[in-house]
């Protein structure tokens, strides 16, 4: 029997920059959680990039 995967998104503002934090928590078969932080540039968004988080 498979267990659902839970995905959450949080949006933060730090020093004028907007951060979107995505985390994925898999079912019981796979321990741990995985995440990524997306840093959005102010204005035209030219600084958008992904920063992987350590498990």
| Interatomic CA distance for residues 54 and 45, integer angstroms | 25
Q: How far apart are CA 46 and CA 42, in angstroms?
A: 8
For the chain, domain boundaries: 6-52
pTM: 0.42
Q: What is the pLDDT of residue 10?
A: 77
Residue 8 has pLDDT above 60, yes or no: yes
Written as six digits, the tokens of 30 are 């796979």
In this structure, the number of other CB atoms found within 10 A of the CB of residue 8 comes to: 11
1 confidence band (pLDDT: 50, 70, 90): very low
Q: What is the pLDDT of residue 30?
A: 60
pLDDT tens string 10-47: 777 766 667 777 777 766 666 666 776 666 665 555 55
């Amino acid at each position: 029997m498979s267990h659902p995967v839970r995905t959450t998104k949080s949006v933060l503002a730090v020093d004028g920059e907007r951060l979107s934090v995505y985390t994925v928590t898999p079912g019981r078969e796979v321990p741990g959680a995985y995440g990524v932080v997306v840093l959005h540039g102010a204005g035209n968004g030219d600084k958008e990039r992904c920063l992987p988080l350590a498990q």
